Structure 1
Amino acid sequence: MATDYLKQHTRALHVQLDNLPLLVALASRQLDREQYHQCLSCFYQAYSVIETTLISSPQNKQPALAYQARLSNLRHELMQLGMPIPGSHDVPQLQISTAAHYWGARYVLEGSALGAKFLLPKIQLSLELSSPETLIFFSQLSQLANSWPEVITHINQIIILDNQKKEALAAAKKTFEIFHSHFSIKE
């Protein structure tokens, strides 16, 4: 199955990303507000590169599984916190020319929503917030995690051939690379 192939071949990239200092802090109960702000800025920069490409892709026309924009919630939360909207810097660009590329990138983004479900209560405790509603970005991601089974089923139905799996993997790797490049700059 395509998702098993993607999981197996991106596992090391996922571990590398999760072990970057800011993301380790995000997953710990020692997260402070400055680190949280830095994380949001990194997410904003990465999503600025990725989301525009996904939304403009012809593959994003399926209403039931259309990509749910996150950038506006990131921007809103940064503004609510009084943080500047970060600019971009030179990072790898995501190229989407096939359905396999599109779903390879979506695999990474939708998979990260699963992590958000785990992270949301930790962030809330670390930042001593009475309500998770102030965590706009992570609250949205937690809700999006509910569509993971549907996304996985769809990926496995449309990515069947070996060359499609390789295309999906290339896009998934590029998506991880974009996140890695933004989070490693803050080290």
Structure 2
Amino acid sequence: MQMEMHHGHDDGQPPLSSLSDRLRSATHPTHESLDQSIMAAKPFESLENYGLFLKVQHGIHRDVEPLFKTAALANLFPGLKERSRLEAVEQDLADLGMQVPGYSDLPATSTSAQLGIPEAIGWLYVIEGSNLGAAFLLKYARKMGLSETHGARHLAEPPEGRAPYWKAFKGALNAVRLTEAEEARAVAAAEAAFARVQALVRQHLS
């Protein structure tokens, strides 16, 4: 990852003003590639495909679940525990008569007890940002007869609305002060989160 992507360019362009902007810029190519991979798998073409998509969703939400229960992060992000969507994904699986997948490994965010705040921020940026894109996915789910109360619970709009929800998260994110080295770690962690979802897509949807 070229770090000048998120600290500004050498061509005279001003640096991006906020941490969330720099994370978005630095991870944009990876994010775009992932979105294309998911839609290419046609997850809304059939309930069978959608069930496989739910396995992808469960995998990544299960990976980040430990972060929502971390006291140090809760101090930085108000209401963090309530932002978890793992239970909603599990209810969606049950709606479709599917079992919660079993795992032989630890969640990706808890394989090291030394996961730092910068890395946690990178993972949270990816998982919380996905709530904005969920509006697009929910429209497709509805066409399949699914809804926020059956099968597509994890795609539901937050009570306060998607834009205010994301704005509140970004506000807390941008209030965190990171050194340049720590920011590089946050970017690397966000890239790792996108890569983890890509791996889940290959495992379940390919």
TM range (shorter): 0.7 to 0.9
Indicate whether 1:66 and 2:83 are aligned: no
CA deviation profile, 1:20-65 (whole Å, cap 9, x unmatched) = 1456524xxx52111111100111122222212x134333323724
Corresponding position of 1:88? 103
Q: 1:64 to 1:170 in 2, by over 3 A?
A: same
Q: Which amino acid aligns with 2:89?
A: L
Indicate whether 1:101 and 2:119 are aligned: yes
Indicate whether 1:166 and 2:184 are aligned: yes
> What's the TM-score, normalizing by structure 2?
0.76
Q: 1:112 to 1:41 in 2, by over 3 A?
A: same
CA RMSD of the aligned region, Å? 2.6
Indicate whether 1:114 and 2:132 are aligned: yes
- Once the 2 structures are TM-superposed, how far is the Cα of residue 181 of structure 1 from its aligned partner? 1.0
- Once the 2 structures are TM-superposed, how far is the Cα of residue 98 of structure 1 from its aligned partner? 2.5
- Once the 2 structures are TM-superposed, how far is the Cα of residue 69 of structure 1 from its aligned partner? 1.7
Relative contact order: is structure 1 or structure 2 higher (C-alpha 8 Å, sep ≥ 6)?
Answer: 1
SS at match of 1:20: helix
SS at match of 1:118: helix
Corresponding position of 1:177? 195
Structure 2, unmatched stretches of 5+, are: 1-17
Q: Contact conserved, 2:119 with 2:186, CA < 8 A, in 1?
A: yes
- Count of matched residue positions in the alignment of Structure 1 and Structure 2: 181
Greater Rg by CA: 2
- Once the 2 structures are TM-superposed, how far is the Cα of residue 90 of structure 1 from its aligned partner? 5.9
Structure 1, unmatched stretches of 5+, are: none
Indicate whether 1:133 and 2:149 are aligned: yes
Measure the CA separation in 1 of the matches of 2:137 and 2:105. 28
> What's the TM-score, normalizing by structure 1?
0.83
